[in-house]
Structure 1
Amino acid sequence: MVSTNLSLNFPELIEVFDNIPDPILVTEFQADGFIAIVAANNAAVLHFDYTVDELMSKTLKDVTVQDIWEKMNKIDIQSFLEKKYAKFESVHIKKDGSKIPVSVTLRLLSLKNDRTLIINRFQDISDKKDIQTLLETTDQQLQSLFTYNPDIIFMLDENGVFININPAGEDILKYKTAEILKKSYTDFVHPDDRARTIQEFNDVLNQQTVQTKLKIIDHHDQVLQLDITAVPIIINNKVDGAIGVARDITKEREVKEKLLISEQRYRSVLENNIDAVLSFDLGGRFTYVNEATEKMMGYTEAELKGEPFIEYIVPEEKARTISEYSKVLNGKAVQYETCMFNKQKDRVYLHVTVIPIMVNGNLTGVHCIGKDITELKQYEEKLNYMAYHDYLTKLPNQHYFHTKIKEAINTAIEQRSHFSLFFIDLDRFKALNDALGHDYGNMLLKNVARRLKRYIPENAHIFRYGGDEFIILLEDTTKEKATELVEYLMNQLIKPYDLDEMEIVVTPSIGISMYPRDGKDRKTLIKKADNAMYHVKRTGKSNYQFYSASIHNRIIGNFELESLLRKAMDRNEFSLYYQPQIDTNSNKIYGAEALLRWHSRELGLISPNEFIPVAEETGLIVPIGEWVMKEACRQNKEWHDRHFPKFPVSINLSIRQLYQTDLVERLNKIIQESGLDPKYLELEITESMTMDTETTSLILCQLKKSGVKISMDDFGTGYSSLNNLKKFPIDYLKIDQSFIKDIAVNDDDRDIVATIIMLAHNLKIKTIAEGVETSEHVQFLKSQDCNVLQGYHFSKPLPAKDFEKWLINWNKNN
């Protein structure tokens, strides 16, 4: 029943008011400014869900959302009073707190008793609001679809000019949106498709939906394939343009074309493939094999049909093969490698591609293409061998060594055993390689490798570490056993090598480190063995050395020695000592050899055996050798000017000096500046410097033209042979003192010396014997007609002043 604070005398009117379907409130302004509810129909009671009494105790503000109420109060009151009408939207609050959007219509009603009432009529607009929200959401969704769609979405006006395009259009066409909006769609269409596309656009303008594929050209002149669906834009029953979606199918088209070609070749693949092509049923039994399969397996198709293929797989591959095959039964193609037995029970390695056979979406069988990779597997094994072995010597290489020494360390830890590392470097290998060429160098390395393999024991492993370096890993050993082996190897390695009918002697320098005494890890052991070998190199080569702490100090000392050597010439620390050479026939002075001495300010007198190897290695031997040449010429010219007997002074040339391009020019300049007659200068070369016969011969001939004499020092210990001497302009052969030392007691040495003298004389070459220390030496050498003698029997090397005194005294007594 309607609740009202009004006095109404018309029951019929009240009944009508109570049954109006829209909620109606009658309100009245109060003195306190509130708007009181003075009447409400049944629809209003239901609308607010309050009881009659509860509703009548409320004000309009109590049942209206606060911010909406504030907006309502902003209505132009004067306009409402004049028009007596207002309409707006509001939000009511029901008893349970829920909110109802409403449309409010106000009517101002003036009564005869001077009361002014406001008729508030409401309409629930929840549905309208839901629709509005839906429209807003839909608009946002459409905007997201437009913005984030990976396909091109575009709009054209009725002239075909772009009026909108999404970001995907920019990405695919490689144009900015601003550039695209200035263009017609025909600007992008490939000439091949342009005429057709114009017709299709006209179809859209005629209110048709068009699906088409066409080629377009992007900003980088790349041709793309697009799949386009275009529909007309119709506004007020008029076509205003077109909207379209374009999907880039360039890659997809390429794939389809390839698939089409594949399908066309399908039967050829099956029947004529050089690889094995096989088919299986769902139980893994053979249903088809091609001719290549028959050849590979040795079975006919009839023999294989109906047999399960898994029975032919080698045992260790069965589990994995079944696992891969199960993937194919789930519709997935797979590739893997496996191995099977052929009819002869030989292993055949295969790379297989296994493909499900799908017919109308159902799996009906399996295809398999098997490529025979047996040779490839063998090649891989060969590559693996090559990765761990040196291609030249066939020895295990450095990579293999690093693996092996790890194993050796682990074994030594487990068994509490010892092992040793021999670091072997070939002496003068670089000189041989430079002189004779890499072919001879390679031949020598192979010969050394064969000799090492022949003579190492079973518990030793030989590796080529690099260049002319070899490493021997001797397991389960002691220092005593290592010493026995290294001395045995030294004796074997110094024996001559026959390289293409050329007899070559090469000596090794060997450094040895012991596990665990010298180190417990690979790097330390290698470093210390290398240090020991380096020490051998510096102290004369052709020897071996176990690592010790003192070696490390001496290596450091060598670097200090190099630093001091660089300062020696500026400090005038070098001097020449002279050792006389005696003519065997006249017993007179024949000549003298100038020998370099160094008296360091810091270290005192240093042996040539210590500083000469450092000078050669660092290249300082070149300026030092030039100083020797100048000083020897100066001193000999001074002796001549002082009326001493005239005789040649010999000096040693290093291999670095010999191969200087301007050696002859420098020599001529020194001789000219000194004023010495060049016939009184003798240049000594070592036998090892003559390996490159042609080059050496050319250089020596040029030196001979300068008027100097040439002698070959240390003959019999190097690479040369008497036959090669015919090619060199040699004046003297100096027989190495190692042969002279034991001629009194050793028949072999006597025979060697006698043979050298005889053959040299036959070649019209004079001989000089070094290391003459006893009267027995003198007697034997004179008996063999050796021309010149040199050694401590006559005098040790002397400074210039002392040599002058010796010379005066010798001449008096002879």
Structure 2
Amino acid sequence: MAKPSGSTSIAMREADEEPFYRGLFARSGFGFAALDGRGRIVDANAAFLAPFGVASVTGLPAFEDCVSPKDRSVLSFAMRASLAEQAPWELRLQRADGTEFWVLASFVTPPALPGEGAPALLVQTLDIDERKRNALELAERESRWNHALESAGQGVWDHDFARGDLFYSRQWRAIRGLRSDEPIEASLEAWIQSVHPDDRAHVLAQIAKQETGEAAFNVFSYRERHKDGRWIWIESRGAVVEYDAAGKPVRIAGTDTDITDRKEAEERLAQMSRRLELALGVSRIGVFEVNLRTGEVRWDDRMLEMYGFAGTPDGETWERSLHPEDRRKASARVSDGISSGQDFANEFRIVRGDGEVRHLRGRSAPYVDLTGVPRLIGANWDVTEDVLLQEELKRAKDLAEARAAELEAARARIEYTALHDHLTGLPNRRYLDAAIEATAEEARQAGSRLAVLHIDLDRFKEINDTLGHVAGDRMLVHAAGVLNELRGPGDFVARIGGDEFVFVSSVSAGRNLATLAEAIVEAMRKPVTFNGHVCRFGASVGIASQSGTAIDAKQLLVNADLALYRAKNRGRSRHEFFTSDFQAQIIVSKQTADDILSGIEQRRFLPWYQPQFCARTLDLIGVETLARWDHPTRGILTPDTFLKIAEDLDCVAMIDRIVLERSLADLAEWQRLGLGIGKISANVSSKRLHDPELGRSLRTLEIAPKSLSFELLESIFLDDCDRTVLENLAEMRRLGIDIEIDDFGTGHASIVSLMKLSPRRLKIDRQLIKPVSRSPGQRKLVGTIVEIGRSLNIEVVAEGVETPAHVSIMRDLGCDILQGYALARPMPASAVPGFVEAQEWRDHAGTAPAPHGDLRRTAAR
């Protein structure tokens, strides 16, 4: 009979006996559970049920519900058929009360067995809860420790010499500016080079103490070079954690802390302490502290010295030292300060041990220290010298106040004298300046008009010179009285010097300024009797006014002065208003003045030349230099447009100098070209003749003898021949400069003065030349002047020769040199060579042609 197969016998046993895995479950120390196809636990052994605290599977839900929600996502992977046979899974299972425990779970798919209750999946568990929780707790502790070290800024190092393992934490590297993965040269010889040279010996000694076991625990500080090059302070704490059999340290671990900020703070604190100690020593301030709970007192040396106390102070020492008269008040001040909890000041006297009384000041502050003890800290300083000084000052002040009334009276008299004219009693210029500013401010705020009348007495100098200063003073007093009578409410009258007065009037009430000015002029015309003499004088008035916010007091005074200047120029005993047209003229004059100064800087003043001819041959023998201004916008300008303003600017001498220098340069060029021009003549002003520096200035120029003539007006040499003029004339002759008398016949020259001056030439004024062609008498007069010049061996020049008849007559009368439009007009230097080359004056002497060439315009002299 055939033997039954294995599968048949297993099936028979399954049918007749309990499931095969039950015996395995019962004999195993592991937890086992059988799951059906829907994941329900259909069987489990005691090892599986015990952790859940149940006796049978009926007390358990489906297996998935037995797993902690935190690990159910893992369970879905672990139960897959493809993964079930892999390594065990760490899972947290959950009891009915919600507590959890860790297991190591394996999932096994059993072979297919007949029977309706065959399991679909077997689960094997191993309880690892205690081991897992210990591991997690250890990891948590390590994490907390690492975080604590990191947050404390401490870097960990561990030197395991037995294993040759040197460990440096991330923070250890960060302290030194190293990356977490940056290699470290760990040899002592290399590392010690990064230590500050002053600290190396100290560091090596401390390391040696640790490595030899001399110190099981060691703390030391040193400076180390940071990666960025700066020095940082490190505090190193190390301890031996392992020894070898011989008792020698084989593992040392510790921490490094960056204490750079602390070291710098300590240094700053030390500096502050030194400065404070120095300040206290220099200022001799004593410091004290009192324990308010125990009464313990501490005084520094300066306090002891200040109080003259040699022993140890106690709670009563201070009060015993107080002056009896100050004791109650000073003690009360301290008590009040302590009670209020606020810092307070105190001032008192003490009686030193040697009996000397000293004045002290103090400042104190109550506080509570870190242990909760109330304390009082403060400082005292000696102010005896200050108090004595204050007492002395008080005595001086009392003395000064005793004399105050007398000084005030004297000051009032001085102030009145300083602000008033002693003769007329009117306010003076100083008073006026202050008063007009105040009046102007009031007018600006009120929006009213303010007027200034500047008054100057006419013919006052004649009265002063003829009748004496007493008469002049009487006239000034009379004028002041006239102005005071005309002064209305709010008006102000001042004498600002000499015979000048200022009348400030507020015209808000509609006062007519012209009427006021006429009243002043009319009143000043009235005769005044002095010592039997009838004195008559007048007044010129300049008026300026402004209104509202535009009022400028200083400008009003200037404008009134300018208006007065115009009134006097227009005939005196009259008034003139400062107007916008007048202001425009001033602006034009100012612009012209600015242009003149710019023209001097840019050397835009230049010479033009009017040729001079021999009367007999009509040969060109010289030229007269005429100043011209090459204005950048107005073209060539003659002296009448700028001379007066230039005189006001005191720059005529500079213009003359520029023109003369260029004239000498032009003459040298003409002579080089062989034009036959032997000399130039130039005008010299009276002011320049009076200049002591004229001779020195001329000596700096290269002037060939007889090549230059200076033309002097007849009135100059007759009226102004003082010592300086005579010295300058003498210096001109020494330099070979000829002297010519210009505009002769219009002044008051005499034969004697001509003989005294001995000029080289006389220039007959054009006013005498012009009528000779129609007046025999005028021809005779001119002929006489020519004869006078010839008799004195003086050449005669006729200027203003404008017609052919003038040329013929002046030649016949014996003139030596001719100059005028009949022969040539003034021309620039560039036109002279062409003019000489053309020789047109010989053929057209009577037509006086303008200079040829590219000239755009001709300027008349």
TM-score by length of 2: 0.44
Larger Rg: 2
TM-score normalized by the length of structure 1: 0.46
